Amino acid sequence: MSRIGKKIIEVPASVTITVDAENIVTVKGPKGTLKQAMDRDMKLEMKDGVANIVRPTDQIRHRAMHGLYRSLVANMVKGVTEGYTKKLELVGVGYKASAQGNLLDMALGYSHNIIFEVPKELSVTTSQEKGQNPMISFESIDKQLIGQVCAKIRSLRKPEPYKGKGVKFAGEVLRRKAGKSAGK
């Protein structure tokens, strides 16, 4: 039984949800519009400002899709009302980042700077405060896209376990190793 799939989705008054003939869900809100293709068997029911995903049977495939599409629609509703923010922290000597429009220029300890083109759906800002590590902040209404871009940037220089140098999510706790033991 899918417990997540059975949860209802509270839809604010400023948000409209429509489903077309090809089972594509469109969510419009104050911050923008998102679309998501849904499985042909899943149905979206709207009643009194509440959305609910309904599955036709208890087959394994239907149970698997039930919670997935409920989460996707709930993330879309939250995205068009509040939006999502993710922050990356650059830990290391000489690591820095600067953003010009949708281009992100990063110095991550390689012999060259890495220039990363950020999708136009995301807004990116960088900050560098004295005594703090450089930060890259992303804002978007699409949770999937913001997570994918952050994961790609993190993969350019993953944090290493000895000193913790690399690109990490703000607040991420790294598993650290002790390093070499002193004399025998």
Dihedral angle at the C-alpha atoms of 164, 116, 82, 88, nearest 10 degrees? 10
Is residue 182 in a domain?
Answer: no
Look at residues 81, 104, 119 and tell me which one is the last residue of a structural domain. Answer: 81
| CATH for 134 | 3.90.930.12
| 3-class secondary structure, 29 | strand
| Domain residue limits at 118 | 84-169
- 58 and 24 fall within a common domain: yes
Domains: count for the chain: 2
Q: Model-level pTM greater than 0.85?
A: yes
- Cα-based distances in Å from 66 to 42, 72, 183: 7, 10, 58
Look at residues 81, 99, 118 and tell me which one is the last residue of a structural domain. Answer: 81
- 122 and 134 fall within a common domain: yes
Is residue 54 in a domain?
Answer: yes
- 39 and 91 fall within a common domain: no
- 37 and 66 fall within a common domain: yes
Range 180-184, long-range pairs (CB < 8 A, 24+ positions): none
| Tens-level pLDDT at each residue, the chain (184 residues) | 458 888 999 999 999 999 998 999 999 999 999 999 999 999 999 998 899 999 999 999 998 899 999 999 999 999 999 999 999 999 999 999 999 999 999 999 999 999 999 999 999 999 999 999 999 999 999 999 999 999 999 999 999 999 999 999 999 999 999 888 765 5
Look at residues 81, 116, 135 and tell me which one is the last residue of a structural domain. Answer: 81
Is residue 99 in a domain?
Answer: yes
Please say whether the beta carbons of 19 and 25 come within 8 A: yes
- 57 and 115 fall within a common domain: no
Is residue 178 in a domain?
Answer: no
Is residue 89 in a domain?
Answer: yes
Cα–Cα distance for residue pair 42/62, rounded to 1 Å? 8
